[in-house]
Amino acid sequence: MRMVRPHRSPKGLFDPYYVPDRLLHRDRDLDTVSGVYGDSFEDEYGVNCLVHGISGVGMTVFSRYFLTKIVPEQFDAHTVYVDAQRKDSLEIVSELHDKVHEQIKKPLTVAFDLDILWMQFKRAASAARKRTVFVIDNIDETNEEIFGKLARLSKEIKASTIGVLNSHDYRLLTKLPATQMAYDFEVPLDTYTQSQLYDIVRMRVEDTFPLGLTEEVVRYITDLVVEFDASKPKTTIEALKALWPMATRGQEIDSDAVRSATTSITSFLNDGDYIDIIEAVSMNDFMTLLVLEALAEHLMRYKTETYIDRGTLEEIVNIKCEELGVKYIPKDIERSLQTLVFQNVVFESSYSSSLLYTLVPPEILYDAAINMRRELARRK
Ligand SMILES: Nc1ncnc2c1ncn2[C@@H]1O[C@H](COP(=O)(O)OP(=O)(O)O)[C@@H](O)[C@H]1O
Ligand SMILES: [Mg+2]
């Protein structure tokens, strides 16, 4: 396995079929697939499987990693990958047909009839000197028939087929007999833990960003996706894609930039909602407003810092209390923070609960806190 990175290229952000040099934290699943295919190769029989998981978890990259890195290394086989998404039967079979002819180096025949194409594909696939591993990505209701047909053919000609589908279609299709009959085993792909997702984002940054990104930014993106989008690597890569043009322009990637790159998953509350929530939680609660103000002020001042740790926050609140001649009670700060976290105004990092972050620009929280504090003062 090559560990050096010859050059950094944005391909890893913009090519949906990009396969990184290393597939992180999937060793066990790769071993399972390689083991089963190894046996089928030795004993010369076909074996079919289903790879499934939630959309964005890394199904495509898993199947393509197996096809483009493991198979050429371990088996002397042809490989054919077809993405079936939004393609009709004729398009899928044409692609299978063309790719098999390419692999066996036979000139292409031309046909526009589904049955004829299938016959020609079948003939070429059966005549291949080597055995073939097929991947059909994005199986769903509209194309499961072709997957089933290909899986049956695979058994006949001692080839193998890997079907890839999301959890929703998996539940739907495996209830029906056609798909149920078509596979021998399955590989459910789990979601990643926070630290595994962090590794994936870090590696992709190293593969694609000429000058890298700070540790803090990588952690922030990871945190947001863990908390708000089921730890999907796809979403982290989308965020990097949005940041990449800024980074190459030489713009500093600060917390505002990360927030704007992830609004699609975090904008379930709008600015007005925040003001309402803050108004509600801080009704006659001077300390909570002070804590929020201190937190927002810090994040506004240090734009490249995406987190504030509890220790720093306590110090700032302490100073504010002195200035205002208010008694400083650490237990009150803790209670205020609990309220803010519970109300989704402030979030604890999944990396460490002493690191706090927000979803909205701190300016909005700051203004709301200051206004409410004035309001409270006026009412007295
Ligand atoms: N284990 C992993 N190691 C490296 N990159 C990964 C890993 N899992 C997912 N990715 C990356 O996450 C992104 C989304 O994966 P993809 O396979 O397209 O998701 P899916 O097909 O499940 O919707 C891709 O850029 C992919 O390369
Ligand atoms: Mg996919």
pLDDT digits (tens, 9 = 90+) for 215-247: 999 999 999 999 999 999 999 999 999 999 999
User: Are residues 303 and 324 located together in one domain of the fold?
Assistant: yes
Q: What residue type is assigned to position 145 of the chain?
A: E
- 80 CA → ligand 1 middle, Å: 19
Q: Does 201 sit in the ligand 1 pocket, CB within 6 Å?
A: no
CATH number for the domain harbouring residue 323: 1.10.10.10
CA-to-CA distance for 251 and 271, rounded, in angstroms?
A: 26
Q: Please check whether residue 203 lies inside any domain of the structure.
A: no
User: Are residues 214 and 65 located together in one domain of the fold?
Assistant: no
- 58 CA → ligand 1 middle, Å: 3
Q: What residue type is assigned to position 193 of the chain?
A: T
User: Are residues 178 and 33 located together in one domain of the fold?
Assistant: yes
User: Are residues 369 and 335 located together in one domain of the fold?
Assistant: yes
pLDDT of residue 2: 47
Q: Please check whether residue 195 lies inside any domain of the structure.
A: no
- 280 CA → ligand 2 middle, Å: 43
Q: Whose alpha carbon is nearest atom 24 of ligand 1?
A: 234
DSSP conformation class of 184: S
**Is residue 358 scored above 60 in pLDDT?**
yes
Q: Does 234 sit in the ligand 1 pocket, CB within 6 Å?
A: yes
Most informative mutation of 52, 61, 206 for ligand 1 (most atoms within 8 A of CB)? 61
Q: In sequence order, what are the residues at sequence separation of 6 or more whose Cβ sits closer than 8 angstroms to the Cβ of residue 212?
A: 205, 206
Tens digit of each residue's pLDDT (9 = 90 or more) over 96-145: 999 999 998 888 777 789 999 999 999 999 999 999 999 999 999 999 99
Percent of the chain surpassing pLDDT 70: 98
- 87 CA → ligand 2 middle, Å: 14
Last residue of a domain, one of 133, 154, 188: 188
Q: Closest ligand to 61 CA? A: 1
Q: Please check whether residue 339 lies inside any domain of the structure.
A: yes
User: Are residues 172 and 275 located together in one domain of the fold?
Assistant: no
pLDDT of residue 109: 76
Q: Whose alpha carbon is nearest atom 8 of ligand 1?
A: 58
CA-to-CA distance for 91 and 367, rounded, in angstroms?
A: 56
- 83 CA → ligand 2 middle, Å: 8
**Is residue 4 scored above 60 in pLDDT?**
no
- 13 CA → ligand 2 middle, Å: 14
Last residue of a domain, one of 266, 289, 307: 266
User: Are residues 230 and 174 located together in one domain of the fold?
Assistant: no
Q: Please check whether residue 14 lies inside any domain of the structure.
A: no
Q: Please check whether residue 197 lies inside any domain of the structure.
A: no
Q: Does 278 sit in the ligand 1 pocket, CB within 6 Å?
A: no
Angle CA 223–225–228, to nearest 5: 105
**Is residue 1 scored above 80 in pLDDT?**
no
- 201 CA → ligand 2 middle, Å: 17
User: Are residues 238 and 139 located together in one domain of the fold?
Assistant: no
Give percent helix, percent strand, percent coil of the chain, each to the nearest 5: 60, 10, 30
**Is residue 373 scored above 70 in pLDDT?**
yes
CA-to-CA distance for 136 and 139, rounded, in angstroms?
A: 7
**Is residue 86 scored above 70 in pLDDT?**
yes
Q: Closest ligand to 17 CA? A: 1
Confidence band for 5, pLDDT divided at 50, 70 and 90: low
Q: Does 233 sit in the ligand 1 pocket, CB within 6 Å?
A: yes
Q: Closest ligand to 204 CA? A: 1
Q: Mean of the per-residue pLDDT values for the chain?
A: 92
Last residue of a domain, one of 188, 219, 243: 188
pLDDT of residue 182: 86
pLDDT of residue 273: 84
Q: Please check whether residue 238 lies inside any domain of the structure.
A: yes
Tens digit of each residue's pLDDT (9 = 90 or more) over 312-342: 999 999 999 999 999 999 999 999 999 999 9
**Is residue 91 scored above 50 in pLDDT?**
yes
- 165 CA → ligand 1 middle, Å: 14
Q: Closest ligand to 206 CA? A: 1
CA-to-CA distance for 215 and 303, rounded, in angstroms?
A: 14
Structural domain harbouring 313: 271-379
pLDDT of residue 3: 52
| Upper half-sphere CA count for residue 234 (Cβ side, 13 Å) | 18
User: Are residues 281 and 250 located together in one domain of the fold?
Assistant: no
CATH number for the domain harbouring residue 95: 3.40.50.300
User: Are residues 236 and 348 located together in one domain of the fold?
Assistant: no
User: Are residues 153 and 227 located together in one domain of the fold?
Assistant: no
CA-to-CA distance for 276 and 238, rounded, in angstroms?
A: 31
Q: Does 196 sit in the ligand 1 pocket, CB within 6 Å?
A: no
Tens digit of each residue's pLDDT (9 = 90 or more) over 177-201: 776 778 999 999 999 999 999 999 9
CA-to-CA distance for 361 and 349, rounded, in angstroms?
A: 17
Number of domains present in the structure of the chain: 3
pLDDT of residue 283: 76
CA 1 to chain CA centroid, nearest Å: 24
137-163: b (≥16 Cβ within 10 Å) or e: bbbbebbbebbbbbbebbbeebbbbbb
Alpha helices in 182-254 (DSSP H): 194-208, 215-228, 233-248
User: Are residues 40 and 114 located together in one domain of the fold?
Assistant: yes
**Is residue 281 scored above 90 in pLDDT?**
no
Q: Please check whether residue 317 lies inside any domain of the structure.
A: yes
- 170 CA → ligand 1 middle, Å: 18
Q: Does 23 sit in the ligand 1 pocket, CB within 6 Å?
A: yes
Q: Please check whether residue 1 lies inside any domain of the structure.
A: no
Q: Averaged over 154-163, what is the pLDDT?
A: 96
Least trusted range by pLDDT, from 60-64, 92-96, 175-179, 302-306: 175-179
DSSP conformation class of 284: T
Most informative mutation of 24, 138, 234, 241 for ligand 1 (most atoms within 8 A of CB)? 234
User: Are residues 351 and 253 located together in one domain of the fold?
Assistant: no
Question: Measuring CA to CA, which residue among 153, 152, 189, 160 is closest to residue 71?
Answer: 160
CA 193 to chain CA centroid, nearest Å: 12
**Residue list, CB under 5 A from ion ligand 2:** 60
Confidence band for 348, pLDDT divided at 50, 70 and 90: very high
Q: Does 225 sit in the ligand 1 pocket, CB within 6 Å?
A: no
